[in-house]
Amino acid sequence: MLFNFVGTAWAHYVALVGAVAALLGLAFGSVLAFIVGLVACVLAASHVYAVTVPHDEALARGLGGDWRERIGTEAERKMLQHRWSWRVPSAPAAEVTRDVAFATVPGTGRPLLSDLWRPPPGVRPTGVAIVYLHGSAWCLIDKDVGTRAFFGHLAAQGHVVMDVAYRLCPETDVFGMVGDAKRAIVWMKAHAAEYGVSPEKVVLMGGSAGGHIALLAAYTPRHVELTPGDLRGADTSVRAVVSYYGVPDLRAYDAWARRFEPPGGAPVQPVRPPPGKLATALYRRLFGRLMKPENMPPPPPHRQLMRDLVGGLPEEIHGRFDLASPVRHVGRDCPLTLHFQAEYDHIVSVESARAFHRALVGAGVPAVYIELPRTLHAFDLMLPPLFAPAGQAALYDLERFLACLA
């Protein structure tokens, strides 16, 4: 798995090194070096080519055939000019405000925090606000992990980004997470004028588990069971939703995940053991900051996580898995949807993502589905940030999608 991650993230350099090795093998008469280098070069170069093929037709199906004409020259100039390059241009520094409280959990006094990324001085706001939910496996990580370059790039185009630290398992369940996402939407709309945002241009976005929560919240703005009491009557609708490899069907995810568990399931962990010193140092290096021990890997066994997240397993509680599945809430009123999916995703099956898109199209929902070939889960979070060809290609499409909303 690690080899696959590194190979896809650094494919362009693998191709370059392979080409050099092949040339040296040819120059020094080493058949082995020539063959190995040539094979590495061809395989890596073909990966870069495959993941950077344009998705203009997919964008046209979801945004309309005139989507290119709707992007102004100034906006286009700030975007990536190519679907992949050796180096992503650095963006001017955004204005960042850390740990802004956007709500308090009713009855607890527990504040919900977010980071606000605003356009750099001199950059005209687009009016688009992105409420972002980080990847988490529903129980790990935190806001501000591996996303600074990404947010800085979006802010430099005039967008406002609200990076939300929603509650995780076991503190809350999936329904509490959806409630936190909706609280962030309501806060952003209430403070729209302060941040140069249009209340009609709020976009909900997330990765992995955050993508699942984003889809679920975006598709259920008036759902009684998925809207906390303190938000009844509030406007939690969004202009669009963006999911990076989010789970569309929790039943399908459960069946997929159980394939990798030992027979009978992994043993229950009453208390998740904190990471050791070496693991802590590694996570700090990878994540760029320290987090609470309970927010750091490893996650609990799958079945325990499902009980924390939904309250049980599908065979134990039937309706709650459907209630927590975005695909079960697809209807004509769903907002414009952009869904990125990795072909070789080991966490979210590509078949469930394809079925999800078919459901959206069948319901008449404007939707853009972009499947990146030969890629894995979290393809956009490879280190260094915005480095992997697949991550750049997805950002290229995302930029244009957001520009059509501005």
pLDDT digits (tens, 9 = 90+) for 156-182: 999 999 999 999 999 999 999 999 999
Which pair of tokens denotes residue 55?
Answer: 């998705």
Q: What average pLDDT score do residues 125-154 get?
A: 96
Could you tell me if 23 and 345 are in contact, meaning their C-beta atoms sit under 8 angstroms apart?
A: no
CB within 8 A of 142, min separation 6: which ones?
Answer: 134, 165, 291, 292, 295
User: Residue 3 pLDDT more than 60?
Assistant: no
Chain centroid to Cα 97, Å, comes to 22
Residue 292: band (very low, low, confident or very high) from pLDDT cuts 50, 70, 90: confident
Q: How many helices (H) and strands (E) does the chain have?
A: 14, 8
pLDDT band at 133 (very low <50, low <70, confident <90, very high): very high
Please give the mean pLDDT across all residues of the chain: 92
Tokens of 326: 């975005």
pLDDT of residue 1: 52
Share of residues in the chain with pLDDT > 70 (%): 96
pLDDT in the model for residue 285: 73
Instruction: Give me the pLDDT at residue 400, please.
Output: 98
Mean pLDDT of 214-239: 96
CA–CA dist 226, 239 (Å, integer) = 19
Give the CA angle between residues 401, 364, 235 to the nearest 5°: 70
Least confident interval from 52-61, 65-74, 263-272: 263-272
Average pLDDT of the segment spanning 178-205? 98
Evaluate the omega torsion of the peptide bond into residue 228 and state whether it is cis, within 30 degrees of 0.
no
Q: Map out the domains of the chain with their CATH numbers.
A: 2-50 (no CATH), 54-255+296-403 (3.40.50.1820)
Binned at pLDDT 50, 70 and 90, residue 263 comes out as confident
Q: Are 329 and 219 in contact (CB under 8 A)?
A: yes
Find the length of the chain.
406
b (16+ CB within 10 A) / e for 274-297? eeeeeeeeebeeebeeebeeebbe
- Given a cut of 70, is residue 2 above it in pLDDT? no
Among 124, 126, 130, 120, smallest CA distance to 95 is for: 120
For the segment 239-267, the average pLDDT, to the nearest whole number, is 89
Amino acid letter, 95: E
- Looking at residue 358, its pLDDT comes to 98
CA distance 341 to 350: 7
First to last CA, the chain: 39
User: For position 9, what pLDDT does the model report?
Assistant: 83
163 in Cβ contact with 117 (< 8 Å): yes
DSSP 226: G
Retrieve residue 122's tokens.
Answer: 């001199």
- Cα-atom radius of gyration of the chain, to the nearest Å? 22
The two structure tokens encoding residue 382: 């490879």
CA pair distance 87, 18, nearest whole angstrom: 20
C-alpha 114/C-alpha 88 separation (Å) is 26
Q: What is the DSSP letter of 97?
A: E
Q: Is residue 218 over pLDDT 90?
A: yes
pTM: 0.95
**Rounded mean pLDDT of 206-211?**
98
Write the DSSP assignment of 134-172 as a string of letters.
---TTTS--SSSS-HHHHHHHHTTT-EEEEEE---TTTS
Q: What is the mean pLDDT of residues 86-92?
A: 84
Q: Checking DSSP bridges between strand 160-165 and strand 111-118, what pairing results, if any?
A: antiparallel
Per-residue model confidence as pLDDT tens digits over 307-365: 999 999 999 997 999 999 999 999 999 999 999 999 999 999 999 999 999 999 999 99
Neighbours of 270 (CB within 10 A): 7
> What integer pLDDT is reported at residue 387 of this predicted model?
84
For residue 188 the two structure tokens come to 């952003």
For residue 294, the number of C-alpha atoms closer than 13 Å in the C-beta half-sphere is 10
Is the model's pLDDT at 382 over the cut of 60?
yes
Q: Give the whole-angstrom CA distance, residue 138 versus residue 175.
A: 11
Which strands, in side-by-side order, build the sheet including 129-133?
Answer: 95-104, 111-118, 160-165, 129-133, 202-207, 240-244, 336-342, 367-372
Task: Provide the pLDDT for residue 376.
Answer: 92
Is-contact 306 284, C-beta < 8 A? no
High-pLDDT (> 90) share of the chain, % = 79
Q: How far apart are CA 113 and CA 167, in angstroms?
A: 10
